[in-house]
Amino acid sequence: MPRALVTPTILRNVPGNYSDILTQGGFEVVYPPDGFDTYPRANLLQVLEGVDAMLASTEPLTRDVLSQTKLRAIARMGVGYDSIEVPAASDLGIVVTITPGTLEESVAEHTVALLLGVTRDIVQRDREVRQGFWTRKPLPRMAGKTFGIVGLGRIGKAVVPRVQGLGMKVVACDPFADKEFAARHNVTLLGLNELLATADIVSLHPPTTPETHNMINRQTLALMKPGAVLINTARGAVVDEEALCEALDRGHLFGAALDVFKTEPLPTNSPLLKYENVLVCTHMGGLDCESQIATSSLAAKCIVDLYQGRWPEACVVNKQLRDGWKW
């Protein structure tokens, strides 16, 4: 019987629809030991021994690691796959899948929560009340402001009606933008530099690619309007954190709201933690009760489909493997 390793911590030893799909599809479901850190190379290799498929979190699945396994499929619980060396997986005949269409509503809601959290300074107000202070000061209204979306894919599109509901104008940047969607929803398409110079809020939603790595850097931060806000619910790789700290030190930005970081969990000595106008979160933009079920179930279904000879086209990252691939 093939074995499927399930590594996301929220699923470990917590059976659900995903485990039913796997077991009914002919798999033995296995988990890392309780409290086991699957990110170090040696630990990851240990839990992958004898495993045929992986329902994965964001473990670093490099060529070195993958070449020492007998994996046939890696199903990411989410839509990002930058932690997987996809060319290596392709060379080794390992199909990589993601779960599109399962979490954009969650990320969009989280984006709005971060927006209001930082612009209304909610965390600091809460702390003050608990400490017996009662500070009241005016903060910026979002109605009438311009919200800039970098990356108008599924998630970026889901953000649009939510921020428009706050009375905001929306501009977006995406080299592959759906122009029909933009026209239908009154979204103005701009180049990146123009968007940065125009938007009061810049919200990042692109995938991690060589082109988007550190796309928010000293040069692009300098283009942003004084008093603007940066929100990142995409990937930590798209922001140069050192440059962001410099911009915050200069007082160039009103603040930032960050759900993702270059190193996760964020080290407690990170300079980002010294700023009261930076709201930080635990990379949970795509995680709510509904998305947890949807992403894990779809990831499990992808594994079973591949095992049973079906090709989950909409979910496969390395589509070039389709012709001639067999379990």
How far apart CA 83 and CA 193 sit, in angstroms, is 28
| CB-based contacts of 6, cutoff 8 Å, min separation 6 | 12, 18, 19, 22, 29, 30, 31, 54, 55
Q: Are 97 and 249 in contact (CB under 8 A)?
A: no
Question: Which residue in the list 72, 76, 110, 283 is annotated as catalytic?
Answer: 283
CATH of domain 3-102+288-321: 3.40.50.720
| CB-based contacts of 70, cutoff 8 Å, min separation 6 | 50, 51, 52
Do the domains 3-102+288-321 and 104-280 sit in the same CATH topology, yes or no? yes
Nearest C-alpha neighbor of 205 from the set 179, 227, 231, 178 = 231
CATH of domain 104-280: 3.40.50.720
How far apart CA 63 and CA 60 sit, in angstroms, is 10
SS3 state at 193: helix
Question: Which residue in the list 28, 211, 242, 264 is annotated as catalytic?
Answer: 264
Q: Side-chain half-sphere of 176: how many Cα atoms within 13 Å?
A: 6
For residue 18, the model assigns a pLDDT of 98
Intervals of the chain under pLDDT 70: none
Annotated domain spans of the chain:
3-102+288-321, 104-280
Burial 71-94 (b: 16+ CB within 10 A, else e): bbbbbbbbbbbbbbbeebbbeeeb
Q: Is residue 283 among the annotated active site residues?
A: yes
For residue 24, the model assigns a pLDDT of 98
For residue 187, the model assigns a pLDDT of 98
Q: Is residue 235 among the annotated active site residues?
A: yes
How far apart CA 156 and CA 16 sit, in angstroms, is 30
Radius of gyration over every alpha carbon of the chain, rounded to an integer in angstroms: 21
Chain centroid to CA 301: 21
Question: Which residue in the list 105, 110, 235, 241 is annotated as catalytic?
Answer: 235
Q: Is residue 213 among the annotated active site residues?
A: no
